[in-house]
Amino acid sequence: MNEPFEQIRIEPAYRKVAAALVERITDRSLAAGDRLPSETELARQFGVNRSTVREAMRELESAGLLGRQRGSRLMVVTRPSHHLIAGGVSRALALHDIRFVDVWESLTILEPPIAQAAAQRRSDADLQRLEAAADHFKQDNRNSTTAVEHTVDFFRQLGEATHNPALMLAQEPLIQLLAPSLRAMIDRVPQARGRIANAQARLVAAIRTRDAQEAASWMAKHIRDFKKGYEIAGIDQHDPVSDGP
């Protein structure tokens, strides 16, 4: 007997409109900042109702591909933020049982080369932002929530200093995994805050002098400290990371 045919998937019209717009955006026919025609004009071009166009544009706006400029009703093409691109990380925590050891291993692989590249490529403005991030942690780390936020910001500023969009996009989901894993440990390890502040200061010093090898070395030490922190906190590294408080 012949294999049965698969059922034909009938997609809603708004999905087809959205797909057509995404194709123009991804092939650069529509660039960031370009204005789209009005809903009425798009409806005419696609041969659909305005409500169909509106739903398609709402979907792409949620995905960060479209947005409205202040004072204008027309949609413009935008670049989705790194945060939005990595927005599925929380779901991944629940669905894939990502463990503390997985986060630590990934940080070990990715972050030292990022620190090295940041030391080589940073601008004066990048250095100022890194110094500010380190200072924010040093001055405001008593509350675990703000301590984790400042730590994450420091990692993110390191990524920005590489001026490599691919590295930044690869780093962002990992940073979002770092936050809950650090939150689980930081209040249970008395020396954690001091060691984080020291590592950040050493990294800033290496990046200030463009010492790429020293920056990579200190980042590797910094990541090893996270593993020690889990051990001191009594966290089983094979436990899944929770995104809860």
pLDDT value at position 205? 98
For 20, residues 6+ apart whose C-beta sits below 8 A from its C-beta are 46
- Domain boundary among the residues 80, 100, 123 is at 80
pLDDT value at position 211? 98
Q: What is the CATH number of the domain that holds 212?
A: 1.20.120.530
CA distance 138 to 127: 16
In the chain, the N- to C-terminal Cα span, in Å, equals 56
One domain for residues 40 and 146: no
Amino acid making up residue 161: A
Range of the domain at 127: 84-232
CA distance 225 to 213: 19
- Domain boundary among the residues 33, 57, 80 is at 80
H or E stretch at 77: strand 75-77
Low-confidence residues in the chain, pLDDT < 50: 245
Place of tokens 């005419």: 44
CA distance 123 to 210: 10
pLDDT value at position 139? 94
CA distance 157 to 155: 5
Q: Total domain count for the chain?
A: 2
One domain for residues 50 and 171: no
User: Residue 240: inside a domain, yes or no?
Assistant: no
Q: How far is the CA of 110 from the CAs of 143, 168, 188, in angstroms?
A: 28, 11, 26
One domain for residues 106 and 177: yes
For 202, residues 6+ apart whose C-beta sits below 8 A from its C-beta are 214, 218
One domain for residues 204 and 102: yes
Q: How many CB atoms lie within 10 A of CB 133?
A: 21
One domain for residues 58 and 89: no
One domain for residues 19 and 96: no
* DSSP, residue by residue, 6-21: PPPP---HHHHHHHHH
One domain for residues 18 and 59: yes
pLDDT value at position 32? 86
- Domain boundary among the residues 80, 96, 120 is at 80
pLDDT value at position 145? 93
The two structure tokens encoding residue 47: 């041969």
